């Protein structure tokens, strides 16, 4: 039962059907029976409960907060077998999955003017994790011979590798911006950041064994380099996240400036978090916690500067407060582009609206060509 995919159409349809059936049954038996007050009350309560559950299921399906029943109730699992379509390639840094990738691309011909989104499992050599992702290849990628910059998109918690595509709408936004010449062609990776389903990793290597940092900063780039024409320089790699993903993006870039030259935070926070969703990631290890605190890392010497994009909507008071506290800590040679004057709260509509600003900043980071000769 814990593995049932609650974002699937049949689950949502079943809940809606049960709600309608309960309403019809309550109306049909309204004046029947001896204990009318009791069965009327039970019927009304059942209809209202099913209505709330159905609404929650529809919202969850649209926003991709939880995928399975187990994840919804915090029953972590290391399996992601049901989160990608059947036949999706499994790619590894040793070249494994190349034939499956070629087959998938042959079965899904490119549409003129639109990027290709590949659902793929990315298997890491260092961690042993095999986690789902979506790889966006820009229009014209298959006929181009250049190495392209890469943007890794990280979701909030709860969230999935579908969140950036289905909820934020980044795929269509990338198509439009690249097609209009406002963003150079890029490879985008919508990556899974939580090795255990239903457990917020905060993208760190925790004391209790989760190695999300290693997977995202070492394993995943090597797989992408092996199978796609991805540029290798740090200036060609950027991290972008919303909410929890914003913390992840900034923290990873500051921890690994040799691999990532830029990070964008959309309504993120800048302190290591411990709560019910994360568990105790640090277990009293103060040095490890400080090593994952962007407020401290931003002031430490690094071999290379990091460029930051920081934004929060005017109605997102908590995120806006965190941004305003963190921004003054950024000093040269690090740089920060601040967008804190737009309306909106902590939601996908606000983050979609700021994508043009994000893409303009990325264009400056990657240069006008955004690619190097192969």
Q: What pLDDT sits at residue 368?
A: 47
**Number of folded domains that form the chain:** 2
Of 45 and 343, the one with more pLDDT: 343
Is residue 117 assigned to a domain? yes
Instruction: Look up tokens 């806006």; give the residue.
Output: 320
Is residue 139 assigned to a domain? yes
* Same domain as 44, residue 14: yes
Q: What pLDDT sits at residue 144?
A: 76
* Same domain as 272, residue 214: yes
Residue 80 — very low, low, confident or very high, per pLDDT cuts 50/70/90?
low
Residue 276 — very low, low, confident or very high, per pLDDT cuts 50/70/90?
confident
* Same domain as 228, residue 89: yes
d(CA 250, CA 157): 16
Taking residues 267-272, report their average pLDDT. Answer: 96
* Same domain as 226, residue 166: yes
Q: Give, as one character, the DSSP assignment of residue 211.
A: B
Helix intervals (H) in the chain: 9-28, 36-63, 69-72, 98-107, 170-179, 212-214, 220-227, 244-255, 286-290, 294-297, 317-326, 348-353, 355-366
State both tokens at 195.
Answer: 């090795």
Is residue 75 assigned to a domain? no
Residue 370 has pLDDT above 50, yes or no: no
Taken as a whole, the chain contains a residue count of 374
* Same domain as 148, residue 28: no
* Same domain as 132, residue 39: no
Q: What percent of the chain lies above the pLDDT cut of 70? A: 89
d(CA 41, CA 55): 21
Residue 73 — very low, low, confident or very high, per pLDDT cuts 50/70/90?
low
Q: Give, as one character, the DSSP assignment of residue 4.
A: -
Residue 250 — very low, low, confident or very high, per pLDDT cuts 50/70/90?
very high
Of 153 and 62, the one with more pLDDT: 153
Q: What pLDDT sits at residue 246?
A: 98
The pLDDT mean for the chain works out to 88
Residue 16 — very low, low, confident or very high, per pLDDT cuts 50/70/90?
confident
Residue 297 has pLDDT above 90, yes or no: yes
Q: Half-sphere exposure of 243 toward its Cβ, with a 13 Å CA cutoff?
A: 18
Q: What CATH number does residue 151 fall under?
A: 3.40.50.1820
Q: What pLDDT sits at residue 31?
A: 75
Taking the CB of residue 48, how many other CB atoms lie within 10 A of it? 13
Q: What pLDDT sits at residue 372?
A: 47
Element containing residue 132 per DSSP (H, E): strand 130-137
Q: What pLDDT sits at residue 43?
A: 77
Count Cβ neighbours within 10 Å for each residue of 284-317 and write b for 16 or more, e otherwise: eeeebbebbebebbbeeebeeebbbbbbbbeebe
Q: What pLDDT sits at residue 77?
A: 46
Beta-strand relationship, 237-242 and 262-266: parallel
Q: Give, as one character, the DSSP assignment of residue 184.
A: -
* Same domain as 134, residue 40: no
* Same domain as 282, residue 182: yes
Residue 12 has pLDDT above 60, yes or no: yes
Is residue 2 assigned to a domain? no
Residue 280 has pLDDT above 90, yes or no: no
Q: What pLDDT sits at residue 369?
A: 43
Q: What pLDDT sits at residue 193?
A: 95
Per residue in 28-70, pLDDT (tens digit) is 777 777 777 777 788 788 888 878 887 777 766 655 556 656 5
* Same domain as 154, residue 54: no
Residue 298 has pLDDT above 70, yes or no: yes
Q: What pLDDT sits at residue 26?
A: 79
In sequence order, what are the residues at sequence separation of 6 or more whose Cβ sits closer than 8 angstroms to the Cβ of residue 300? none
Is residue 16 assigned to a domain? yes
Residue 79 — very low, low, confident or very high, per pLDDT cuts 50/70/90?
low
* Same domain as 181, residue 110: yes
Is residue 1 assigned to a domain? no
Instruction: Look up tokens 């990873």; give the residue.
Output: 252
State both tokens at 279.
Answer: 């568990």
Per residue in 156-212, pLDDT (tens digit) is 998 889 999 999 999 999 999 999 999 999 999 999 999 987 789 999 999 988 899
Is residue 4 assigned to a domain? no
Q: Which domain holds residue 345?
A: 85-373
Is residue 289 assigned to a domain? yes
Top-confidence range, 7-16, 39-48, 116-125: 116-125
* Same domain as 161, residue 54: no
* Same domain as 262, residue 114: yes
d(CA 47, CA 25): 10
């Amino acid at each position: 039962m814990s593995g049932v995919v609650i974002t699937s159409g049949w689950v949502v349809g079943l809940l809606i059907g049960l709600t309608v059936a309960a309403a019809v049954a309550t109306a049909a038996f309204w004046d029947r029976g001896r204990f009318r007050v009791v069965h009327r009350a039970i019927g009304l309560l059942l209809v209202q409960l099913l209505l709330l559950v159905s609404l929650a299921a529809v919202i969850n399906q649209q926003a991709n907060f939880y995928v399975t029943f187990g994840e919804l109730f915090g029953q972590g699992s290391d399996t992601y077998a049901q989160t990608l379509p059947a036949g999706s390639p499994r790619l590894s840094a040793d070249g494994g999955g190349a034939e499956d990738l070629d087959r998938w691309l042959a079965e899904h011909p490119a549409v003129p003017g639109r990027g290709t989104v590949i659902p793929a499992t990315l298997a890491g050599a260092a961690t042993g994790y095999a986690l789902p992702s979506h790889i966006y290849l820009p229009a014209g990628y298959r006929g181009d011979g250049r190495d392209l910059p890469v943007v890794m998109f990280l979701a909030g918690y709860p969230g999935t590798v579908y969140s950036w595509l289905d909820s934020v709408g980044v795929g269509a936004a990338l198509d439009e911006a690249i097609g209009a010449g406002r963003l150079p062609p890029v490879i985008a990776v919508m990556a899974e950041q939580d090795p255990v389903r239903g457990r917020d990793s905060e993208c760190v290597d925790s004391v209790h064994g989760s190695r999300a940092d290693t997977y995202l900063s070492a394993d995943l780039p090597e797989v992408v380099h092996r199978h796609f024409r991805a540029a290798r320089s740090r200036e060609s790699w950027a991290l972008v996240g919303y909410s929890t993903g914003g913390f992840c993006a900034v923290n990873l870039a500051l921890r690994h400036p040799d691999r990532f030259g830029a990070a964008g935070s959309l309504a993120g926070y800048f302190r290591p978090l411990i709560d019910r969703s994360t568990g105790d990631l640090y277990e009293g290890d103060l040095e490890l916690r400080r090593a994952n605190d962007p407020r401290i890392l931003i002031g430490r010497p690094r071999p290379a500067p990091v460029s930051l994009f920081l934004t929060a909507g005017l109605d997102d008071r908590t995120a806006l407060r965190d941004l305003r506290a963190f921004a003054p800590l950024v000093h040269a040679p690090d740089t920060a582009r601040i967008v804190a004057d737009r309306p909106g709260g902590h939601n996908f509509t606000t983050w979609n609206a700021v994508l043009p600003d994000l893409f303009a900043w990325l264009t400056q980071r990657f240069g006008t060509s955004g690619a190097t000769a192969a």
